[in-house]
Amino acid sequence: MSRSFPIFKAPTRFSLELLLIAGIAIGILLRLLNLGSREFWYDEVLSLLVSSGQAVNYDGPGPVPVVLREYTALFSVPLNAGVQDFANVFKGLVSDVHPPLSFLFLHFWMRLFGSSEIATRGLIALISALAVASAYGLGRFLLGRGGGLILAALLATNPYYLSHSLNIRMYAPLVLWAILSAWAMLHLTDMGNGAESEENEEKNPSPLTSSPAHPLNRSTLFWSAVLIGSVAAGLLTQYLFAHWVITLGIFSLVFDRRRWWQHGMRLGIGVLLTLPWALWGTRQQLRNRPNLGGQFDSTGGLQHFTDAAQTLGNHLVLGDWGTSFPVGVSTVAGTIAIALLAACAISLWRMGERRSLAVAFVLGIVPLLLALTVDIVTNKFTVGFGQGRTLIFILPGCLLLIATWLLQASGRWLPTVAGGLLLLYLTVGVGDYTLRQRAMFHQVADLIRQAPKTPTLVAMNSNAWGHVLRLAYYTPPNTSVKLLARAPAKLAPSLEKVLQGAEGSKYSRLIFLDSAKPVWSALKTETQKQTEKRKIEKVLQTAFCKSKQPCKPTKTQQLSGTMDIDQFTVNLYTRSGK
């Protein structure tokens, strides 16, 4: 790997170094400032439920209204945990579709700090900060101190990773495990150059673009443990991390073929460490969710390639904005990202930096191509699932390719180009958290607080547990509220039966939450939706308002968040004379 890095004069070096450090600091600060700026989204509240160990106690709403505060207790971790409490945690884990590690981390974190937004997201923000620090170590080892700072700054400000650094799911930890395992593999395959590093450090004690520090007396045992541990941790965090493990095997074959069997043994040990969970937990998950693979079914054709483009577009350009934009925007952004990566690769190839290019290509592009190939063969669409979050472990490698090009090709324009890219990332990320709010259930809670002791019935045309639990989480527990949550086609008859029953006359207020995307048992056509809406209006007119005139809401609000599942129409109905 070439070490002919340009040497800058002190003022330029200082300004660039300061710029990169400032980018890292701002990225960390943004995480801290936004820990509680948004409500939990659909999947986050599921993480809370599983991690609390209370998933086994969740009983979804039926045709009879339930006291909403009964669900609130499900987010609390028992302080004096016994054997049964830990058993319930694992019972909840096998009811989910993901491996257990991220949930177990969150469980013990919640024991210490509680289940608030700030407390729980604090764990993920801490993990993401460790990932940024590890990115610096990886970049410094491979590209020198300047490369380490560039890679760390890109990761810290990347809007896609910023959003998942404030998301209590398994995606931020995946990036940490990917970086640590890649860093360890670089050490074990001798991709550094210790002698040259030592000589350069003597001549230039702390230059921004110095060659990487590669300790001559490094412990093979230590880096073997890091590789084994991060591989096992990654597989116990998400099953698709297997693509990354295979990529590490390819890396060892490409760059250290003589010792491939040693690297293979290390990877194999990491895989074997996950065997107890695979034999017990994974088997039960498959039994509990026999049709799990159905959610990844693909229509085939060009979808696989548009999925790959959209994933790169979200990872490298749009960030979490991809959840709000039409898929065509993500595809265009992905085309731009592909062009950028291709330009970087061609430039490095022409400069003769083919070893640097090969390292970044294997770590960033190969796992994407591997996942894409598997999708095409099996006719699935895991690559594009969830706006590309299932493949977030390719992000460090893609950023490494960009960082390598910046360091090798930018020359005297390096501060300007790097600063411009960081500014773009910060603009996208800050704009995301400034312009896109997610506070729908806070607004519903505000309606309830207006008359906290007044008997209120909340009727919702979604019984999806993400919607039910988010409503329960943000509704004050000291209010007199009951919930009737049913699938869209079942809400009208259930609501009519409740309002005409013995309890119906007790409700002075009724809040109808009309979900734009109920998630489960959603109506397929607009005609079906309008038919059910008219049925509900008729029930409200005859059984709640008890009037020959149309029953009109006293207040109507349109609620929206960062995703289509966040969209609700809220109608508040109040009985006259009460």
Q: Band the pLDDT of 210: cuts 50, 70, 90.
A: very low
Least confident of 24-33, 292-301, 330-339, 456-465: 292-301
Average pLDDT, rounded, for the chain: 88
Alpha-carbon distance of 559 to 193, in angstroms, equals 57
Alpha-carbon distance of 201 to 487, in angstroms, equals 67
User: Is 458 strand, coil or helix?
Assistant: strand
Alpha-carbon distance of 392 to 98, in angstroms, equals 15
Which whole-number Å values give the CA distances from 450 to 143, 255, 475, 478, 555, in the listed order?
59, 66, 12, 13, 12
pLDDT for 544: 87
Residue with tokens 């013990």: 108
Share of the chain above pLDDT 70, in %: 89
Beta bridge partner(s), residue 569: 514, 558
Element containing residue 181 per DSSP (H, E): helix 171-188
Tokens describing residue 309: 């483009």
Beta bridge partner(s), residue 510: 457, 573
pLDDT at 213 over 60: no
The stretch 556-565 carries a mean pLDDT of 93
Show contacts of 355-361: CB within 8 Å, 24+ apart: 355/1, 355/2, 356/1, 356/2, 356/142, 356/143, 356/404, 356/408, 357/401, 357/404, 358/254, 358/255, 359/1, 359/142, 359/186, 359/191, 359/255, 359/400, 359/404, 360/397, 360/400, 360/401, 360/404, 361/401
Alpha-carbon distance of 377 to 145, in angstroms, equals 42
Tokens describing residue 328: 């065509």
Nearest to 232 by CA among 247, 250, 244, 219: 244
pLDDT at 295 over 80: no
pLDDT for 14: 56
Q: Is 559 left (phi over 0), alpha (psi -120 to 50) or beta?
A: beta
Cβ-proximal residues to 571 (8 Å cutoff; 6+ apart), any chain: 511, 512, 514, 553, 555, 556
Amino acid at position 270, single letter: G
Backbone angles phi, psi at 509, to 5 degrees: -130, 145
User: Is 570 strand, coil or helix?
Assistant: strand
Burial class (CB in 10 A: 0-12, 13-18, 19+), 205: exposed
Amino acid at position 350, single letter: R
Three-class DSSP labels, 360-423: HHHHHCHHHHHHHHHHHHHCECCCCHHHHHHHHHHHHHHHHHHHHHHHHHCHHHHHHHHHHHHH
Find the distance separating the first CA and the last CA of the chain, reported in whole Å: 79
Alpha-carbon distance of 498 to 505, in angstroms, equals 9
Amino acid at position 255, single letter: F
Q: Is the dihedral of CA 423, 424, 428, 434 positive or negative?
A: positive
Q: Are 435 and 14 in contact (CB under 8 A)?
A: no
The stretch 338-365 carries a mean pLDDT of 95
pLDDT at 217 over 50: no
pLDDT for 411: 75
User: What would the pLDDT profile of 254-291 be if each residue is shown by its tens digit?
Assistant: 999 999 999 999 999 999 999 999 998 888 877 766 66
The stretch 360-384 carries a mean pLDDT of 93
User: Is 2 strand, coil or helix?
Assistant: coil
Strands in 11-135 per DSSP E: 66-67
pLDDT for 577: 53
Q: In what order do the strands lie in the sheet with 66-67?
A: 66-67, 481-485, 456-460, 509-515, 568-574, 555-559
266: Cα within 13 Å, side-chain hemisphere: 26
pLDDT for 549: 76
pLDDT for 94: 86
Range picked from 196-210, 281-295, 438-452 for highest mean pLDDT:
438-452
Nearest to 494 by CA among 522, 457, 528: 457
Beta bridge partner(s), residue 571: 512, 556
User: What would the pLDDT profile of 57-77 be if each residue is shown by its tens digit?
Assistant: 899 899 999 999 999 989 988
Beta-strand pair 456-460/568-574: unpaired
Cβ-proximal residues to 493 (8 Å cutoff; 6+ apart), any chain: none
pLDDT for 218: 53
Cβ-proximal residues to 550 (8 Å cutoff; 6+ apart), any chain: 537, 541
Stated length of the chain: 578
Residue with tokens 């006291």: 67
User: What would the pLDDT profile of 144-203 be if each residue is shown by its tens digit?
Assistant: 999 999 999 999 999 999 999 999 999 999 999 999 999 999 999 987 643 334 344 444
The stretch 397-420 carries a mean pLDDT of 90
pLDDT for 9: 44
Alpha-carbon distance of 391 to 75, in angstroms, equals 29
DSSP 514: E
Q: Band the pLDDT of 299: cuts 50, 70, 90.
A: low
